[in-house]
């Protein structure tokens, strides 16, 4: 089980992630050609301008209106993306298999970042319950996604602190991590892939076509 | 999902209540699937899949903020109650569902696109609610007053049943009125090869005719070579764009552009109206598969700005009242004319206090996007949906609100009355004609 999770599962997860991403982008690109109002109005500079404003903390009015949420959201996304890539344990696995390695996070910092992800997911979950609008538009799938996103980080922490049976926790960690990677293209986590596309389109519509700002 | 009962769901409107009786389940499924799969594609899919249900759009909406943050009125909630369900059930919904979807899409959203500026992904919720309107329109379920304007466009090409003889009579009457002030003023009809065609919307000849006379004086003072058509094709206000009847929308815009082409004008100046500008410059050409308008079109804001900044029109005496601005969505968020609007107001007025939030971030008037055209049955709902506007304007302490848009004008007047603000609304044209230097005076 451990060997399968360590080997083929990782391959499967990345193939599904990359294949799924290519499929989604190719499909949305093809469909967007059918909509005559997308491609003729796209502008690289205005698209990039819009993306930049929404990738920089407090770059948009909506972010300035809710500073606590903005900080939370940025920390969550940064930690969520960077921790798995630069975690010493993960890089070592690549080194063992392929002999390649790269810069890694100090253990203590990685630990804090992982905890931040779990805390942020908890806050998002509480917000889904507490904010009337968010509660009104929350579907069961939103809860499932929160669990899928949190699971690799929770199990990672359990493994780090060696709570429960280490081997079992590690297998759970690898499976939940693989699941997380695989659902990206096929659930609302696809916003990770579509963000630059929808943002660039809106940036072009506002900036290029209408000479207005969209942040 | 069942619709929650709100006082608005009890409003009687034959355009919704009677028309849903003719619907069959098969017809609803057929129309919904046609619109969702044949008329829309990548944008709809990307927006539905990307929305993470975070609710960050809520505070952008005047309806939501004005109604004590009732979750039913947030932009994403409006989409959830309408489009999400139509997609999930593949159109297997009943007439009552369509009635409520129409109520939400037509009367509780003005498609002002403010929310799309607050969505981190730039999801265009106004577009999503226009899809709902399109479905309702194809099913014949449209508020009766709004449908009447679309019918008027279909018959007369203008939105208020103005007949050709009435149109010409009104222009001649306004020419005489203007001549009382400046004897050499003309309103030139059908002048082929003029530099400019001036476009107005039907409320001008119908109820605000003096605006036409004012413009004739301004054109005279500026020495403009201009004309207006004597035929249909002078109005592009286009309520069909908002009722979801895009076929009629396309016809109205095509006739408008063809009329300008027939007159061989170099450009069109659009009077002080926002959604007419949007229809003519964006929605119309796109429906007709033209990337951009065939003849350049500028909005009155740009024209006044050019006149004042170039010195073609000089200001004799500044307007003395304390003024503020209502930024129209379709020319400020839709064309970036907020700075030019402020330049004009600064040049014309002694005392100007800006609104907060302003420019692209200004709150919607809650009248545009066809909302005010839904008529008297929905007026109270419209007033309750824009308390935030009354508060925003009240804070400026101004006496006069300047807005270069007919929908904003009417909507803000209603709000002033409902919330007892004791303010007045003016078009730029009314103040400009009062404050500018007129040719005969300079000659004398």
Domains contained in chain B, number: 3
Give the residue carrying structure tokens 């301008």. Answer: A49
A58 neighbors A64 (Cβ within 8 angstroms): yes
Q: Is residue A190 part of a domain?
A: yes
Residues B124 and B68 in one domain: yes
Which residue, of B110, B142, B174, is where some domain finishes?
A: B142
Same domain flag for B214 and B296: yes
| Domain CATH for B33 | 1.10.1060
Given this model, what pLDDT does residue B206 score? 94
Residue in B45, B52, B74 closest to A133 by CB: B74
- φ and ψ at residue B56, rounded to 5 degrees: -70, -10
Whether A32 sits inside 8 A of B42 (CB atoms) is yes
What are B218-246's pLDDT values in tens digits?
A: 999 999 999 999 999 999 889 999 999 99
Average pLDDT score over chain B: 95
Given an 8 Å threshold on Cβ–Cβ distance, is B122 in contact with A190? no
The last residue of one of the domains, among B82, B115, B142, is B142
The tally of domains found in chain A comes to: 1
**How far apart are alpha carbons A122 and A108 in whole angstroms?**
21
Test B41 with A34 for CB contact under 8 angstroms: yes
Q: By CA distance, what is B123's nearest residue in A?
A: A198
Q: What is the DSSP string of B249-293?
A: HHHHHHHHHHHHHHTT-SEEEE-S-HHHHHIIIIIHHHHTT-SS-
Query: Cβ contact (<8 Å) for A32 and B58?
Result: no
Q: Is B336 an interface residue toward A (CB < 8 Å)? A: yes
**B442 belongs to a structural domain:** no
**Nearest CA distance, A40 vs chain B (angstrom):** 7
The average pLDDT across A30-54 equals: 94
Indicate which CATH number applies to the domain containing B415: 3.40.50
Which of A191, A162, A201 is CA-nearest to residue A80?
A: A191
Whether the predicted pLDDT of B97 surpasses 70: yes
What digits encode the pLDDT tens for the residues B288-310?
A: 999 999 999 999 999 999 999 99
Q: Which domain holds residue B264?
A: 153-305
Confidence of residue A1 (pLDDT cuts 50, 70, 90): confident
- Band the pLDDT of B441: cuts 50, 70, 90: low
Residue B308 buriedness (CB in 10 A; 0-12 / 13-18 / 19+):
buried
pLDDT-based confidence at residue B1 (cuts at 50, 70, 90):
low
Euclidean distance between CA atoms B295 and B258, whole angstroms? 10
Residue A124 domain flag: yes
Decide if pLDDT at B3 tops 80: no
The verdict on a CB contact (< 8 Å) between B41 and A32 is yes
Question: CA-CA-CA-CA torsion for A171, A174, A179, A180, nearest 10 degrees?
Answer: 140
CATH number, domain of A93, equals: 1.20.950.20
The residue of chain B with its CA nearest to that of A35 is: B41
Of B52, B124, B333, the CB nearest to A212: B333
Q: What does the pLDDT read at residue B444?
A: 42
Confidence (pLDDT) at B429: 95
Distance from the Cα of A67 to chain B's closest Cα (Å) equals: 13
- Give B55's pLDDT tier (boundaries 50, 70, 90): very high
A31 belongs to a structural domain: no
- A130, part of any domain: yes
Quick one: closest CA in B to A215, which residue? B117
Q: What confidence category does residue A157 fall into, taking pLDDT thresholds of 50, 70 and 90?
A: very high
More confident position, B329 or A5? B329
Q: What would the pLDDT profile of B30-49 be if each residue is shown by its tens digit?
A: 999 999 999 999 999 999 99
Check whether B4 has a pLDDT greater than 80: no
- The answer to whether residue A214 sits within a structural domain is no
Evaluate whether residue B1 is within a structural domain.
Answer: no
Q: Is B124 on the interface with A (CB under 8 A)?
A: yes
Q: Work out the percent of chain B whose per-residue pLDDT is above 70.
A: 98
Give the Cα separation of A159 and A141 in Å (integer). Answer: 27
Co-location of B351 and B390 in the same domain? yes
Residues B236 and B170 in one domain: yes
In tens, the pLDDT along B379-433 reads 999 999 999 999 999 999 999 999 999 999 999 999 999 999 999 999 999 999 9
Q: What would the mean pLDDT of A128-156 be, rounded to a whole number?
A: 97
Share the mean pLDDT of chain A. 95
Nearest to B43 among A38, A188, A212 (CB): A38
Strand partners, B233: none
Decide if B53 touches A, using CB distance below 8 A: yes
B41 and A31 in contact by Cβ < 8 A? Answer: yes
Q: Flag if A61 and B53 touch (Cβ within 8 Å).
A: no
Kindly indicate the confidence band of residue B2, based on its pLDDT and cuts at 50, 70 and 90: low
- Span B264-273, average pLDDT: 97
| B58 contact residues in A (CB cutoff 8 A) | 133
**Number of A–B residue contacts, CB under 8 Å:** 132
Q: Please compute the mean of the pLDDT values over residues B178-197 and round it to a whole number.
A: 96
**Contact at CB, B361 and A61, closer than 8 angstroms:** yes
Scored b (16 or more CB within 10 A) or e, B325-358 reads bbbbbbbbbbbbbbebbbbbbebbbeebeebeeb
- Is residue B443 predicted with pLDDT exceeding 70? no
Helices assigned H by DSSP within B67-188 = 75-79, 85-88, 95-102, 125-138, 144-156, 164-181
CB B76 within 8 A of CB A160: no
Question: Bridge-partner residues for B268, per DSSP?
Answer: B197, B297
DSSP B37: I
pLDDT mean over A51-60? 96
- Its domain, for residue A173, covers 2-25+44-209
Q: Mention every residue, 6+ apart, whose C-beta is less than 8 A from residue B349.
A: B318, B319, B321, B323, B402, B431
């Amino acid at each position: 089980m451990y060997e399968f999770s360590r080997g083929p599962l990782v391959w499967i997860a990345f193939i599904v992630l990359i294949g799924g991403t290519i499929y989604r982008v190719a499909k949305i690109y093809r469909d967007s050609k059918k909509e005559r109002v997308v491609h003729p109005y796209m502008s690289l500079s205005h698209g990039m301008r819009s993306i930049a404003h929404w990738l920089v903390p407090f770059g948009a009015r909506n972010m300035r209106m809710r500073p606590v949420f903005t900080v939370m959201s940025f920390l969550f996304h940064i930690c969520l993306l960077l921790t798995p890539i630069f975690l010493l344990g993960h890089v070592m696995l690549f080194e063992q298999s392929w002999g390649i390695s790269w810069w890694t996070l100090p253990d203590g910092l990685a630990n804090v970042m992982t905890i931040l992800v779990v805390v942020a997911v908890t806050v998002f979950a509480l917000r889904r319950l507490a904010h009337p609008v968010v509660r009104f538009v929350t579907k069961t799938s939103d809860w499932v996604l929160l669990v899928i996103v949190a699971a690799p980080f929770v199990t990672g922490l359990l493994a780090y602190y060696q709570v429960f049976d280490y081997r079992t926790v590690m297998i759970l960690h690898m499976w939940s991590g693989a699941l997380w990677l695989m659902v990206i293209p096929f659930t609302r986590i696809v916003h990770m892939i579509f963000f630059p596309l929808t943002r660039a389109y809106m940036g072009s519509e506002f900036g290029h076509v209408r000479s207005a700002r969209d942040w | 999902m069942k619709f929650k009962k709100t006082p608005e769901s009890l409003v009687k409107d034959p355009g919704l209540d009677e028309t849903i009786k003719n619907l069959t389940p098969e017809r609803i499924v057929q129309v919904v699937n046609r619109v969702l799969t044949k008329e829309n594609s990548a944008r709809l899919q990307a927006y539905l899949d990307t929305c993470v249900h975070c609710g960050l759009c809520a505070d952008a909406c005047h309806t939501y903020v004005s109604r004590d943050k009732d979750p039913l009125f947030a932009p994403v909630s409006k989409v959830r109650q309408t489009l999400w369900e139509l997609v999930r059930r593949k159109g297997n919904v009943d007439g009552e569902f369509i009635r409520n979807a129409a109520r939400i899409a037509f009367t509780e959203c003005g498609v002002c696109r403010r929310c799309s500026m607050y969505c981190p992904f730039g999801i265009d919720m106004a577009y999503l609610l226009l899809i709902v309107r399109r479905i309702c329109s194809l099913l014949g379920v449209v508020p009766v007053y709004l449908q009447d304007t679309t019918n008027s466009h279909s018959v007369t090409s203008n939105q208020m049943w103005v007949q050709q003889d009435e149109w010409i009579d009104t222009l001649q009457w306004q020419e005489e009125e203007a001549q009382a002030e400046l004897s050499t003023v003309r309103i030139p009809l059908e002048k082929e090869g003029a530099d400019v065609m001036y476009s107005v919307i039907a409320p001008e000849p119908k109820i605000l005719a003096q605006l036409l006379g004012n413009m004739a004086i301004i054109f005279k003072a500026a020495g403009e070579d201009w004309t207006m058509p004597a035929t249909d094709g002078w109005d592009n206000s286009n309520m069909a764009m908002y009722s979801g009847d895009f076929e009629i929308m396309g016809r109205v815009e095509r006739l408008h552009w063809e009329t300008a082409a027939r007159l061989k004008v170099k450009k069109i100046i659009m009077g002080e109206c926002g959604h007419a500008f949007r229809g003519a410059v964006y929605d119309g050409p796109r429906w007709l598969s033209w990337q951009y308008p065939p003849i350049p079109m500028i909005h009155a804001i740009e024209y006044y700005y050019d006149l004042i900044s170039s010195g073609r029109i000089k200001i004799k005496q500044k307007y003395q009242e304390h003024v503020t601005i209502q930024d129209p969505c379709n020319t400020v968020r839709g064309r970036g004319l907020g700075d030019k609007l402020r330049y004009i107001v600064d040049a014309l007025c002694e005392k100007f206090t800006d609104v907060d939030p302003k420019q692209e971030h200004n709150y919607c008037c809650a009248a545009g996007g066809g909302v005010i055209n839904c008529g008297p049955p929905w007026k109270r709902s419209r007033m309750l949906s824009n308390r935030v506007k009354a508060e925003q304007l009240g804070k400026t302490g101004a006496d006069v609100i300047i807005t270069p848009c007919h929908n904003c004008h009417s909507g803000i007047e209603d709000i002033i009355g409902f919330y007892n603000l004791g303010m007045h609304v003016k078009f730029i044209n009314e103040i400009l004609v009062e404050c500018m230097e007129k040719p005969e005076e300079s000659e004398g």
